[in-house]
Structure 1
Amino acid sequence: MEQINALLKEILTIDLINITISGVRGDEPASKIKIRPVLMKKELYFQATSYIDTKVIHSNDKAEAMAKKIAGWMEGSYKQMQITTGTEEISVLVSKKGKVTVKRRKKAVSVSPFEMVASHNREKRYILKEGQPVDFLVDLGVMTREGQVVHSRYDKFRQINRFLEFIEDILPALDKGRTVHIIDFGCGKSYLTFAMYYYLKVLNGYDIQVTGLDLKKDVIEHCNQLARRYGYDSLRFLHGDIASYEGQDQVDMVVTLHACDTATDYALFKAVLWNARVILSVPCCQHELNQQMECGALTAVFQYGILKERMAALVTDGLRAELLTCAGYKTQVLEFIDMEHTPKNILIRGVREKGEKPFALSDKYLSCRGLLHVSPTLERLLTGAFGQKTPDGKEESHSETKD
């Protein structure tokens, strides 16, 4: 193993990008181990990440200690090591008889060591931190009892934290001096509902009352059991439909996550009627406008079903956001999580602006709607409640001439 020891002494420097050790021999529990450099208090360490079933375990060592660990792994437990540095790709193979083969290939373009360390050391700041167990994340299968994130659920862990970042941004809009009422329409398995409750109540000390609403009775019963188990007294789950829900007079925040098609529109409409301070909506299955859209100038695009479907989804959410602006909200359309993890990556966030603003359809809304000859459900609901006013205060006309 002298060849491996010499190689490790050479490559365990600031120029290392990563090492992947694989090809398990015998009873070694980790299927693979990855090593990368990190800066801790301005000192160079090497972090080993071991993948054991669904667990991910980290350890940090200086170069000499890490070299001993790697040499031990390659001597008896693994047969392959792939090394990437700023200038080289190196492959190491160990045969059953212990013969070591090293192959080295120079890179066409070198990577700056300083860029590499900055990239590796740019750790993501999560609101719910790995290594700190959270009861509902354990029961929902996202974390182990030791607080380690289950490898197959890491995307869900990222999604939950991203959602909490959106809430963190709107905290100034929530009154900490009284009970804040929150409705979550279409809460489903309630990963995000529990996370929202934990973040606002436990971590930030808000006096809140959260109601989750869904059509699946078995899911509702299970979530209520979990809420009781955790002592979340201000969190309840009810069986019911978004459109017909009448159980609340005052609501401060409305959350609608993946409510299908026009169910999102009914939830947004309820939020506006309640004069909710905050709206967070992740729509999905936007089918309605796909059936309505017509525009001669876009026939070359609309003739392809998949393109028309995608465009309909974007138009639907764009018009929803503009309608919330027309109703007095400061509205943003934000990326929820990366497209590679789920196609449902649009979040509409509305925060009610101060002062009274009468509802009126904007010129840009009317222009887009007229171009595509669509009649969105949310518009019909809002104009039915507040009247069909245009920016000049006149009653809006529905006469249209198609392209």
Structure 2
Amino acid sequence: MNQVIKLLEEIIFSDEIIYGVLSNLRKKDEDSFNKVTIKPVLIREEIKLQFAYEYKNKVLHKNLDASESIKEIENLLIQSFRQGVIFTREADYQILINKKGKASILKKKPTKEKADLSHNRKKSYIIEDGEAVDFLIRLGVMNENGKVVSKRYDKFRQINRFLEMVADVISKIDKDKTLNIIDFGCGKSYLTFALYYYLVNILGLDVNIIGLDLKEDVINFCNEVAIDLNYDRLKFVYGDIKDYEAFSNVDMVVTLHACDTATDAALVKAVNWEAEAILSVPCCQHEIYDKIDNVTLEPMLKHGIIKEKLASLVTDSLRANVLEILGYQVQLLEFVDMEHTPKNILIRAVKNNDKNNKEYIDKYMKFKEFWGLRDLYIEKELGERLESQLNK
């Protein structure tokens, strides 16, 4: 295998690989992958190799750096496959492994052209245009050939943006267990299905995902789709956020487009469950509209449209601050606009159990005082859990 490793090092370290295919399994197994394809992808300005492991009913992906890729190809050729073809601009290399494990390399004329990743931003998508994905086809975002429907490209882009944010937090969650995930206010559930597809079909994780909503017809439709797609660990339930008690512990809480204090109710649930990750896109923050009061800012507050925007920003800032006080690392990020609202701020919180929160408490109290706020819904619902922190 030394000559194979040397060839791989030359090709991969110099970014010459265009495409690769590993095939001809040594031992066929119904539960194992039957082929692995390899291609370069550009992720956050860094070129990695994406390995696609093709099973009978799914495809799993891994993105590896150069050294990891060489080791992975070596292991796959030793343990699983008798043949590999590596395509470069200079030549195609066919690697053959005989029954005794001895390798030979055949060099042939090149048959593929190298893609320019510098301007092909689609390569950084977790789900790519042109790859048929069952739930996207079922929900009308893709056609049967995997091509994104032109009128649904905004939805396709939104799904990928959401999955990028999930990818950033999933690495910080303990994955050596069954993950319980709740999506409050799931609606039509494009992103709920995307979450399931990413975690199960791409990452191969063990999950239970529940989508919760108050629209019974939508819940029935989503359950029908999940059954049709054999997404057997994805269920949709009719019910209210505040009353949901089916899980005693939850690892991730997602809440997208939950109106007014429904977002706060979801955050309270997440905190009480001590969820490891929270992804929330709030909407329609009305609670503090009639509560904010600051004489100095009266030239702004007297205009309803300005006051509404301010109330929204202040509300999300307070929510982030509360999560920081309770031991979360929080970021407010720009999200792709939802279908029916211009709200595009996503609260991303990851549990870090930081007990040194006095600075956050001081800022929270001063911020509330500045805006003349008291008797907030999230404070009342968190009760002693938050009050004990604020009275330190």
- Tell me the TM-score range normalised by the shorter chain: 0.5 to 0.7
Q: Which residue of 2 aligns with 1:43?
A: none
Paired letter, 1:279? I
Q: CA deviation at 1:212?
A: 0.6
Q: Which residue of 2 aligns with 1:377?
A: 377
For the residues of structure 2 that align with 1:340 and 1:135, how far apart are their CA atoms? 22
Report if aligned partners of 1:174, 1:180 keep a CA contact under 8 Å in 2: no
For the residues of structure 2 that align with 1:128 and 1:227, how far apart are their CA atoms? 19
Paired letter, 2:279? L
Secondary structure at 2:290 match in 1:
helix
Aligned: 1:211 with 2:223: no
Q: Which residue of 2 aligns with 1:223?
A: 222
Paired letter, 2:316? D
Paired letter, 1:377? Y
For the residues of structure 2 that align with 1:179 and 1:359, how far apart are their CA atoms? 34
1:299-355 deviation line (CA, Å, top 9, x unaligned) = 000111000000100110011001000010000000012699951210000000046
Aligned: 1:294 with 2:318: no
Report if aligned partners of 2:328, 2:354 keep a CA contact under 8 Å in 1: no
Relative to the length of structure 1, the TM-score reads 0.65
Q: Which residue of 1 aligns with 2:324?
A: 325
Gap regions ≥5 residues in structure 1: 1-116, 394-403
Gap regions ≥5 residues in structure 2: 1-115
Q: Which residue of 1 aligns with 2:13?
A: none
Q: CA deviation at 1:374?
A: 1.8
Report if aligned partners of 2:117, 2:123 keep a CA contact under 8 Å in 1: no
Backbone CA RMSD of aligned residues: 2.3
Aligned length: 276
Q: 1:357 to 1:271 in 2, by over 3 A?
A: farther
Q: 1:261 to 1:250 in 2, by over 3 A?
A: same
For the residues of structure 2 that align with 1:124 and 1:285, how far apart are their CA atoms? 35
Secondary structure at 1:189 match in 2:
coil
Report if aligned partners of 1:327, 1:357 keep a CA contact under 8 Å in 2: no
Q: 1:123 to 1:207 in 2, by over 3 A?
A: closer
Q: 1:335 to 1:248 in 2, by over 3 A?
A: same
Q: 1:208 to 1:359 in 2, by over 3 A?
A: farther
Q: Which residue of 2 aligns with 1:162?
A: 161
Secondary structure at 1:129 match in 2:
coil
Q: Which residue of 2 aligns with 1:366?
A: 365
1:210-266 deviation line (CA, Å, top 9, x unaligned) = 011000111101111111111111100000000111111010000000000000000
Structure with higher Rg: it is 1
Q: Which residue of 2 aligns with 1:284?
A: 283
Report if aligned partners of 1:362, 1:390 keep a CA contact under 8 Å in 2: yes
Q: 1:339 to 1:250 in 2, by over 3 A?
A: closer
Work out the percentage of aligned pairs sharing the same amino acid. 53
1:41-60 deviation line (CA, Å, top 9, x unaligned) = xxxxxxxxxxxxxxxxxxxx
Write out aligned runs for 1:4-403 (5 A).
121-123=120-122, 125-337=124-336, 343-354=342-353, 362-375=361-374, 376-390=376-390, 393=392
Q: 1:308 to 1:226 in 2, by over 3 A?
A: same
Report if aligned partners of 2:325, 2:389 keep a CA contact under 8 Å in 1: no
Q: 1:121 to 1:149 in 2, by over 3 A?
A: closer
Report if aligned partners of 1:360, 1:390 keep a CA contact under 8 Å in 2: no
